[in-house]
Structure 1
């Protein structure tokens, strides 16, 4: 029978015995090669042996599909120069005393959980659901550990609903540094006071590294950031939230015009304008010849919609251009003037929003920062919620977001 060897890769032990059980499990019995430990009462080094503790059984990484268990009886030491002559059990650094698994096996489970579910990992590894959750809780914090963060640069604030249709909102706080998104908090609710309390809790050394805060136009977020950081940090209203508003106005006009045209035109002519809603939403440069013909047909019957469409694209072009904040402000004001001169009423509400948030909207042009990274994370969170059949516990949600973002870099 051919034999090959695999290094155990566990430090400070010698293998005493290897056994293959009838169930097909591998049991490796080891003994410590480290002499002494530190007194659990006074912390001093002790070297006087005092027997052994109970046998510890630890799940380890599988070999060739077979479950592996490490058995070790830890050495106990007594310190006679400490009050009560305390006895301390030696613990080696490759396992935690109260964990039924080696550390490397725990990290393996966490890696398996990235983009997966507790239930799936439980089935694949033959572990109980609670055992997998126990590993998650032992290794992954339920809130941010500021000591692991060097700087913040750009903060993102956005909300998601834990239960669709129930308005059960939580606030997602993130940071963006050198193209990397980090989860900072999942806060219950979205009030200004809740967000302020968290922002004030950021250590001073990190607060000083914040250059900008990106958000939508929700005043609870923008006002909280302004009150905490003052004028030294730019508050940026995300350009894509702005675009959504004026494109919604265009879509509102489309609905009115299509309703009118259905009364005035033949069914055959209406069919020529099929899928016009999606065509109007596409980038002009990405339109096919067939789609351009659909627009020509539509605009022939609705000049007012053509005008609104061109104005929308004009505003988009402003945001696409690499210009300064001051130039952008002038061009947006010129755009507003064109809208008023056109006689169009569909953009009235949007223009009021522009007037109110102009400074925060045009802050985008300083460094062309958006909260696109927040939206990207929100999409990931939606996947996590679907994958895990809904997560209502915000501490658990924080753990799962953190693991999906950091798991590969930490444990791969």
Structure 2
């Protein structure tokens, strides 16, 4: 909407020809002007700028009924009341911002900004622009905190670059399978492996859609969560017992045990080491669980082959049984169920750390925009915030 103080620049086309809308040939027979149109352009000195122009019309003398064609303006998409340059300006403003903020700064309606985003590169299907995948990642994120309305984030990692492939409405096997089948065969052939968690819907969908030749890797960090949870369960149990049995002064010596127990043993301070030694003196089982937890972490740090790793897993399991610990029962069950997929990590050291990194960015986007509950809009915002700086700013 033009207001006092805005700039209005009147243009005149210097083109001498057009393209016939019927036959596609170049036409030069001038047939007059179309109606005046007003087009929003880049601001000047903080003021809104509008371009006014009457497009030229040309007549094709070779087609039946000699139709007329209005010239197309290369700097404006047909039917739009803004230039391509202004659209890109709005999208640049939208990076790391919200639709509401951009609307206030640019004096635009939300629907206008959302339409610009939808009609841009970022509104297109990411699969249309992907030629190589490398490692394919599958993970979920909740649209609303505390609710179980998960959406699946499908992404790829190749040569240090993470790209979004899709946002799926739910984590059902059928939904994931349908999406994976949409990947063109030429692009499927570039998938080296699939990194995911232990959710069987992902594992089965990947296996069915991509075949046995593509390795499915259960992410080592999800595995670590499982066995560390087992170790932490005995810490909680033993701390609860010791709080009842020890005097108040003796129990104070265990202050800070939680963080000392969870911390990387190579980064412990002298004080933290003392806390652990005190706790282990009261609870030998806690010491055994701690050492076995660290031993499992060490396995993942070794330069093993897949077969070496499976052998190391079995050896570790025997130690757990020998020590009579039940805190790792759940993890051992998981380890035996997904042994091959977990051990696939040692073939290429693939993991879904890049997916977790992307998930963190998505959480920031959601927080900044006070929640995005439309899946299409979420996908567009992820693409804009991850690729916008590269595509919209001149280097």
Q: TM-score range by the shorter chain?
A: over 0.9
1:240 and 2:243 matched: no
Match of 1:258 in 2: 239
Instruction: For 2:323 and 2:126, locate their aligned partners in 1 and report how far apart those are by CA, in whole Å.
Output: 54
- Asked whether the 8 Å contact 1:175–1:183 carries over to 2, the reply is yes
- Asked whether the 8 Å contact 1:170–1:190 carries over to 2, the reply is yes
Instruction: For 2:289 and 2:150, locate their aligned partners in 1 and report how far apart those are by CA, in whole Å.
Output: 34
- Asked whether the 8 Å contact 1:143–1:185 carries over to 2, the reply is no
Instruction: For 2:274 and 2:4, locate their aligned partners in 1 and report how far apart those are by CA, in whole Å.
Output: 70
1:380 and 2:361 matched: yes
Q: Cα distance, 1:268 vs. partner?
A: 2.3
Match of 1:102 in 2: 83
Instruction: For 2:49 and 2:127, locate their aligned partners in 1 and report how far apart those are by CA, in whole Å.
Output: 36
Instruction: For 1:32 and 1:365, locate their aligned partners in 2 and report how far apart those are by CA, in whole Å.
Output: 64
Structure 1 residues 256, 36: CA separation in 2 closer, same or farther (over 3 Å shift)? same
Instruction: For 2:147 and 2:383, locate their aligned partners in 1 and report how far apart those are by CA, in whole Å.
Output: 25
Moved more, 42-51 or 213-222: 42-51
Q: Cα distance, 1:191 vs. partner?
A: 1.1
- Output aligned runs, 1:42-53, within 5 Å: 42-53=23-34
Aligned Cα root-mean-square deviation (Å): 1.6
Match of 1:316 in 2: 297
Q: Cα distance, 1:25 vs. partner?
A: 2.1
Instruction: For 1:328 and 1:198, locate their aligned partners in 2 and report how far apart those are by CA, in whole Å.
Output: 33
Instruction: For 2:272 and 2:52, locate their aligned partners in 1 and report how far apart those are by CA, in whole Å.
Output: 70
Once the two structures are superposed, what CA deviation does each residue of 1:219-266 show, in whole Å capped at 9, x if it has no partner?
000011111222210000000000000011111111111110110112
Match of 2:392 in 1: 411
- Asked whether the 8 Å contact 2:126–2:166 carries over to 1, the reply is no
Instruction: For 1:121 and 1:321, locate their aligned partners in 2 and report how far apart those are by CA, in whole Å.
Output: 50
Moved more, 112-121 or 22-31: 22-31
Question: What is the TM-score when the length of structure 1 is the normalising length?
Answer: 0.91
- Output aligned runs, 1:260-275, within 5 Å: 260-275=241-256
- Asked whether the 8 Å contact 2:220–2:345 carries over to 1, the reply is yes
Ranges in structure 1 where 5+ consecutive residues have no aligned partner: 1-20
SS of aligned partner of 1:32: coil
Question: What is the TM-score when the length of structure 2 is the normalising length?
Answer: 0.95
Instruction: For 1:343 and 1:322, locate their aligned partners in 2 and report how far apart those are by CA, in whole Å.
Output: 29
- Asked whether the 8 Å contact 1:140–1:399 carries over to 2, the reply is no
Q: Cα distance, 1:142 vs. partner?
A: 4.3
Match of 2:47 in 1: 66
- Asked whether the 8 Å contact 2:177–2:206 carries over to 1, the reply is yes
1:209 and 2:190 matched: yes
Once the two structures are superposed, what CA deviation does each residue of 1:82-118 show, in whole Å capped at 9, x if it has no partner?
2332221111211112222111111111111111111
Moved more, 155-164 or 133-142: 133-142
SS of aligned partner of 1:88: strand
- Asked whether the 8 Å contact 2:41–2:49 carries over to 1, the reply is yes
Instruction: For 1:187 and 1:289, locate their aligned partners in 2 and report how far apart those are by CA, in whole Å.
Output: 48
